[in-house]
Amino acid sequence: MILLILGLALWVGAHLFPRLAPDARARMGNAGKGAVAAGVLVGLVLIIIGYRGAAFVPVWTPPAFLTHLNNLLMILAVFVYGMSATTGRLRGKMRHPQLTAVKIWAVAHLLVNGDLASIILFGGMLAWAVAEVIVINKTTTWDRPEPGPAKKDVVLVIITLVMFAIITGIHAWLGVWPFPG
């Protein structure tokens, strides 16, 4: 659990540093960008190693029906994440689509994982995404982009379904079948 917690701390710190200490980050120049990226990457590696190596400590037993809700939320999370790159009508409907997607992803996974490591990982990522939105909203203004053509939103739906299938395949490859049997 130590590596998981250290990884989360590094992930959160690296992401929040440029927003909470913009002058210090600016003084670092390009090296600062590299340091932040390295912090995020090392944090992610520690999170993965820590989570995969954590002992299974049951906290609660999720009911099986929540798997269906998890899968619906995951499709929504992939779609919302994709909104950050869309140039369709949905462009500009949401200020923080990537962070909103992380929140949806975290809640979905908290619903179906009742062990301590999962609660730390997904709860920690949920807390980070909430904090990040608050910090961004207090430190920056947003110029809402103009919407684009509706056909780009159709492309987003197709990409969402393909990405969900890929994510499902990765989960299956890792030994976690995401559908109730």
The DSSP call for residue 85 is T
Contact indicator for 97, 73 with CB cutoff of 8 Å: no
Q: Please state the φ and ψ torsions of residue 140, each to the nearest 5 degrees.
A: -140, 155
Secondary structure (H, E, C), 75-114: HHHHHHHHCCCCCCCCCCCCCCHHHHHHHHHHHHHHHHCC
Residues 23 and 40 in one domain: yes
Q: Please state the φ and ψ torsions of residue 145, each to the nearest 5 degrees.
A: -70, 155
Residues 25 and 74 in one domain: no
pLDDT at 26: 85
pLDDT exceeds cutoff 90 at 32? no
Nearest to 41 by CA among 66, 15, 20, 77: 15
Number of domains forming the structure of the chain: 2
Domain final residue, candidates 35, 54, 73: 54
Residues 61 and 49 in one domain: no
Residues 15 and 86 in one domain: no
pLDDT at 181: 67
Contact indicator for 52, 176 with CB cutoff of 8 Å: no
Residues 42 and 128 in one domain: no
Contact indicator for 75, 141 with CB cutoff of 8 Å: no
Residues 167 and 92 in one domain: yes
Residues 47 and 83 in one domain: no
Residue 62 tokens read as: 């999720």
- Helix, strand, coil shares, percent, the chain, to 5: 70, 0, 25
Residues 9 and 60 in one domain: no
Residues 32 and 118 in one domain: no
Residues 10 and 88 in one domain: no
Residues 3 and 66 in one domain: no
Q: Domain span at residue 139?
A: 56-181
pLDDT exceeds cutoff 90 at 177? no
Q: Helix 66-82 to helix 151-173 angle, to the nearest 10 degrees?
A: 130
Residues 47 and 61 in one domain: no
CA 29 to each of CA 17, 25, 54, 74: distance values in angstroms, whole numbers, following the listed order: 14, 7, 37, 37
Average pLDDT over residues 15-33: 90
Cβ neighbours around 41 below 10 Å, total: 13
The pLDDT tens digits of the residues spanning 60-107 come to 999 999 999 999 999 999 999 999 998 999 988 999 999 999 999 999
As a whole number of angstroms, the distance between CA 87 and CA 161 comes to 18
Residue 108 tokens read as: 């979905």
